[in-house]
Amino acid sequence: MTTLTHKEMTAHIRSRIKAEGIPANVKMLNYCQVKGIAIYGKTYETRFTSEQCREIALIAKVNHLTKARGGVIDLDLEAQLTDSNLKHFEFHC
């Protein structure tokens, strides 16, 4: 099994989001020695549906991303968080 770099993981997540047909941008983040990946709507008005939120969270979980500080991704909770156009996950190499 090969280990992906932060940049490669971001590209992989981007391709998975596109394959699912979710209208979102994916951006690699580096802040305070934390490597993150942000998934956000194409426009400010974009809000993810419950199904899209769950799919985004599933993609992140399968690829071993976490919530802040290594928190576990809860698919049911993520599916309820439809009032935002931003999903943020952390990458741990």
Structural domains counted in the chain:
1
Which positions ≥6 away from 29 have C-beta within 8 Å? 35, 36, 37, 38, 88
| Full residue range of the structural domain in which residue 60 is found | 6-90
In a domain? residue 21? yes
In a domain, 13, yes or no: yes
| Beta strand spans in the chain (E) | 24-31, 34-41, 86-90
User: Would you say residue 14 lies in a domain?
Assistant: yes
Task: Examine the pLDDT at 1 and tell me if it is beyond 60.
Answer: no
Is the model's pLDDT at 2 over the cut of 70?
A: no
Q: Rounding to the nearest 10 degrees, give the CA dihedral for residues 33, 37, 42, 48.
A: -120
Task: Say whether pLDDT at 9 is over 60.
Answer: yes
The verdict on residue 10 lying in a domain is yes
Residue 38 lies in a domain: yes
Tens-place pLDDT, residues 33-87 = 899 999 999 998 989 999 999 999 999 999 999 999 899 999 999 999 988 899 9
